[in-house]
Amino acid sequence: MMDQKQLLEITEQYLKGELSADEKALFEEMRTKTPTADQFVVEHQFFITELDKYADLKRFKANLYDIHHTMKENGEIAEVKTQDRAKIIKFWDKYRRTIAVAASIAGLTALMISGITVAFAPKTPLADIEELRRKVSKLEVKTNKQDLQLKSVRQKIEPGVNVSFGGSSFLIDAKGYLVTSAHVVHNAERIFVQNNKGQDFMAEIVLTDTQHDLAILKITDEDYKPSNNIPYSFSKKKVASIAEPVFTLGFPKDEIVYGEGYLSSVTGLLGDTMSTQITIPANPGNSGGPVLNHNGEVIGILNARQTTAEGVVFAIKSKYIYNAIDSLKRLDSSKIVHLPTNSTIRNLNRVDQVNKIQNCIYMVKVVMKK
Amino acid sequence: MSNYFKEAELLKGLSLNEKESIEQIYKDNYGIIQQLVINNNGSEDDARDVFQEALIVLYQNAKKDDFQLNCQIKTYLYSVCRRLWLKKLQYNKRFDVLVDNQEEVVPTEEDLEVHQKLDAQYGVMKLAMGKIGEPCKSLLEAFYVHHKNMQDIASFFGYTNADNAKTQKYKCLMRLKKLFFAQYKNAK
């Protein structure tokens, strides 16, 4: 009885056909007599076939590998010209889904945030809020007869035109840019502004920011002389503090009216951070007027009062004027507004301050769209 | 020599794993395949892999006695590569339409199915070979793949004589067989 090693050796020789005729006959005789040996041969034959297939394919693959590399080295395989472009495209294609998913999530998040903001933001004007634009009544006709006659030479507002609403505005650039509340000029067909001497000037809206209730007007009238310097200033960084004394000038009637008060809360109605709360006597017509501190710095634009409480008035923070001016610049590069940054009335007493300021405060008269 | 005989000669050479024939087929076809793969979001390496796999399919076919190629080698390789690359793209969850300008494509599904089976068998042996470790792997490959004689193997692997090498080869082969059949049953 031969051992496994010898059996393997003879089996391999047998399978390769290396045995002599006699040896082959002997081997086959043994296979028929010993089933285990026969099974071994069958099994080994199968195994060797598989091993041969493996060896054959491995040799072929090695050959392919060699050929590819020699050809590449000899420059027989063309370089791919579009490789760089292909890389970008590949990157895009590979991450297209990821990018799309990320973008949708970002979009949804943005929508959700803005939705939440809208849902929780205080809705002005609420029922208990009154925008302080003034209904210009027929009483206006009663204005100073002498004044009327003086103006009749150059009547801007034709008789019969119904000036229906009014408010206040103030210069932010001596070129003729004024700021007022957006609701004052809402639905306006034509706008006139009147200075404290009673002169009317044609003006147009160059920007409205209804979110912050701001509008920027430009005096388009030829009669307007951009002469006077603006005495007050705008502070971008300065945060007004509570209890700070403030004053305002506006047109709740046909003559300019001075009002004095204090900053009562740094936020507006229901915690609205866009505005501040001040306690000041204000009436319809004061909308769009400036709220100034004792240094002559504009801290806000008066826009509404609470009807359910006495003396509670809200003013839009002045920093939104900066934002409005920026968006105006983006909208139309020719419209560059320079806000005055130095208050020239800082050390004056209130009477002198107001005297200088009142030349820059304009009444806004609106002719409504039919 | 007519085109037909030229192609038959190339196939014959390919079936015998002859370098010259393979080189010729490579030269005639690689550019088109590379273009196809790269135009369809593939890399140079992808192109090489796809082309070589197609050559293997053709090689396995060409070795069959009854093999008859009913189209040009070019068309056949292009069809196989196109199919392979499409599969790869689908595997990567990319459901694209292939951008190509060659209209003539022959069906290759059957050949690819056969190829897949052979590839699986190759994989079983490869896995078993990978598991036996060195020097067994190199020793067995020297004998069975590269057909070196026992004398050369003995001196190369540092055995004192061919008999020692034979004993070592026997041990290694037994281990390989064991691993192979275990793997083979698993695969079944």
| pLDDT tier, A150 (very low <50, low <70, confident <90, very high otherwise) | very low
**CB proximity B32 to A under 8 Å:** no
What does the alpha-carbon distance between residue A11 and residue A256 come to, in Å, rounded to a whole number? 121
Residues A157, A60: one domain? no
- Which of A43, A63, A86 is the closest to B19 by Cβ? A63
More confident residue, A184 or A87: A184
Among A24, A53, A71, the domain-final residue is A71
Report if residue A89 sits inside a domain.
no
Q: Output the average pLDDT for chain B.
A: 84
Report if residue A175 sits inside a domain.
yes
Q: Which residues of A touch B43 (CB under 8 A)?
A: 86, 90
Backbone angles phi and psi of A304, in degrees to 5: -160, 160
Q: What is the DSSP track for A293-338?
A: ETTSEEEEEEEEEETTSTTEEEEEETHHHHHHHHHHHHH-TT----
- CA distances (Å), A231 to each of A170, A239, B16, B184, in order? 11, 20, 100, 96
- By C-alpha distance, which of A65, A34, A191, A288 is closest to B55? A65
**CB proximity A69 to B under 8 Å:** no
Taken in order B83, B89, B90, B95, the sign of the CA dihedral is negative
Among A47, A71, A95, the domain-final residue is A71
For A307, the domain range is 126-370
Q: Output the average pLDDT for chain A.
A: 80
Dihedral class, residue A174 (left if φ above 0, else alpha if ψ from -120 to 50, else beta): alpha
pLDDT of A59 higher than 50: yes
Mean pLDDT of A318-339: 82
| pLDDT tier, A129 (very low <50, low <70, confident <90, very high otherwise) | low
In this predicted complex, what is the ipTM? 0.86
Task: Give the pTM.
Answer: 0.47
**Quick one: pLDDT at residue A155?**
53
Q: Report residue B121 as tokens.
A: 């068998």
Decide: helix, strand or coil at residue A209.
Answer: strand
- Which of A44, A61, A67 is the closest to B23 by Cβ? A67
Mean pLDDT of B122-127: 87
Question: What is the residue whose two structure tokens read 């001596």?
Answer: A174
- B30:A60 CB<8 A: no
- Range scoring the smallest mean pLDDT among A138-147, B9-18, B106-115: A138-147
| pLDDT tier, A248 (very low <50, low <70, confident <90, very high otherwise) | very high
Q: Which fold has domain B111-187?
A: Arc Repressor Mutant, subunit A (1.10.10)
Residues A233 and A343 sit within 8 Å (Cβ to Cβ): yes
**Quick one: pLDDT at residue B6?**
83
Query: Taking every pair of C-alpha atoms in chain A, what is the biggest distance, in angstroms?
Result: 148
Q: Name the residue in chain A with its Cα closest to that of B171.
A: A5
Report if residue A82 sits inside a domain.
no
Report if residue A85 sits inside a domain.
no
**CB proximity B55 to A under 8 Å:** yes
pLDDT of A88 higher than 80: no
Size of interface A-B (CB pairs under 8 A): 87
**Quick one: pLDDT at residue A262?**
92
Strands A233-234 and A188-194: unpaired
Q: pLDDT exceeding 70 applies to what percent of chain A? A: 82
- Which of A4, A52, A63 is the closest to B22 by Cβ? A63
**CB proximity B168 to A under 8 Å:** no
**Quick one: pLDDT at residue A154?**
43
Number of domains present in the structure of chain A: 2
Report if residue A218 sits inside a domain.
yes
pLDDT of A75 higher than 60: yes
Residues A142, A253: one domain? yes
- A60:B56 CB<8 A: yes
**CB proximity B34 to A under 8 Å:** yes
Domain borders along chain B are 3-107, 111-187
- CA distances (Å), A41 to each of A7, A358, B178, in order? 9, 117, 15
Q: Report residue A227 as tokens.
A: 């002469």
| pLDDT tier, A79 (very low <50, low <70, confident <90, very high otherwise) | low
Residues A59, A173: one domain? no
Mean pLDDT of B100-104: 66
**CB proximity A96 to B under 8 Å:** no
Backbone angles phi and psi of B156, in degrees to 5: -65, -45
Residues A65, A134: one domain? no
- Which of B23, B30, B59 is the closest to A60 by Cβ? B59
**Quick one: pLDDT at residue B93?**
65
**Quick one: pLDDT at residue A125?**
54
- A77:B34 CB<8 A: yes
pLDDT in tens, B31-58: 888 888 888 888 888 899 999 999 999 9
Report if residue A211 sits inside a domain.
yes
pLDDT of B63 higher than 60: yes
Task: Give which of B15, B173, B175, B183 to mutate to test A binding, by max A Cβ within 10 Å.
Answer: B173
Mean pLDDT of A358-363: 89
- A8:B170 CB<8 A: yes
Mean pLDDT of B81-102: 74
**Quick one: pLDDT at residue A158?**
60
Q: Report residue B104 as tokens.
A: 């003539």
- CA distances (Å), A357 to each of A168, A174, A180, A197, A276, in order? 13, 13, 16, 13, 22
Angle of CA points A223, A226, A231, to nearest 5°: 135
Report if residue A335 sits inside a domain.
yes
CATH of the domain at A326: 2.40.10.120
Among A28, A51, A71, the domain-final residue is A71
Provide the 10 A C-beta neighbour count for residue B134.
7
Q: Report residue A368 as tokens.
A: 């409504």
